[in-house]
Amino acid sequence: MEAYSADRSLKGKLRRRLALLSERRRINLRLDRPMITFSFDDAPATAARAGADVLELRGIRGTWYFSAGLAGQTGPMGVYAGADDARRLARAGHEIACHTFTHLDCGQAAASEIIADVERNAAALAAWGAASSESFAYPYGDVSTPAKRVLGRRYRTLRTVQAGLVEDGADANQLPSVGIEGPEGEATALRWLDRAAERKAWLILYTHDVADSPSPWGCTPEALGHIADAAKARGFDIVTAAAGARRLGL
């Protein structure tokens, strides 16, 4: 898979703005303590191995959004994880979540195409032995009203890459998140961690590969460990995306 960017045209910007106002599932959020979720998009092999090691060393479980059609291929973030990785993650108590089979851009695809691709991914993950996915992340973070309509019926939460916290009134069909990406990824995540702690909000972090020399979309094991340690020190409840959704009654 080559590097790709979601539609940045005026039409794309208007589509995303309209999607913010449509097909909403309002979250009623009242937390005694802030929550945090560590998630990994596309499931590069380094995330499924080095990333999982960092979390497991600290007793933390995370969420991996798999595009099963990428398994074994090499892309901008390295080789993508496959069935053996997914099975090991699941056995360790991590969440295997959906990111479409072909890494389809749901912002521009027709609803029928989205559902077909998601069902294909679900079948592949089931063949790997994974439980039925409860959580979804839009590939490239791109979203549309038809995508929200059809996917919101299938998953507890639909996650974007729009930076923000999940607070009272947030839309479960278009959840914000914060990327741990690039040289400033750790500092950015720590700033959002402080905001979430102050507001008793749910912070969903995402990254891609986890390596000593990561891609521009990934992070180092050291950075991931620093953020995990900071979350524990601040008293966050650390949950998978599905566990967080269930806690909120979604």
Q: With the C-alpha atoms ordered 78, 80, 86, 87, is the resulting torsion angle positive or negative? A: negative
pTM equals 0.94
* Residues 148, 23 contacting (CB under 8 angstroms): yes
pLDDT band at 20 (very low <50, low <70, confident <90, very high): confident
Given this model, what pLDDT does residue 4 score?
A: 57
Q: Which two tokens stand for residue 26?
A: 């309002």
- Residue type present at position 188: T
Element (H, E) at 215: none
Domains of the chain in sequence order: 26-247 (3.20.20.370)
* Residues 139, 106 contacting (CB under 8 angstroms): yes
- Tens-place pLDDT, residues 154-209: 999 999 999 999 999 999 999 999 999 999 999 999 999 999 999 999 999 999 99
Angle 146-150-152 (CA atoms, 0-180°, nearest 5)?
Answer: 110
Whats the size of the chain, residue-wise? 250
Given this model, what pLDDT does residue 103 score?
A: 93
The span from the CA of 250 to the CA of 243, in Å, is 10
* Residues 218, 15 contacting (CB under 8 angstroms): no
Q: Give the Cβ contact number of residue 235 at 10 Å.
A: 9
CA nearest neighbour of 46 among 213, 199, 250: 213
pLDDT band at 22 (very low <50, low <70, confident <90, very high): confident
Q: pLDDT > 90: what percent of the chain? A: 88
The span from the CA of 170 to the CA of 69, in Å, is 31
User: For the chain, what is the mean pLDDT?
Assistant: 93
Q: What are phi and psi of 25, to 5 degrees?
A: -120, 105
Q: pLDDT > 70: what percent of the chain? A: 93
Distance between start and end Cα atoms, the chain: 33
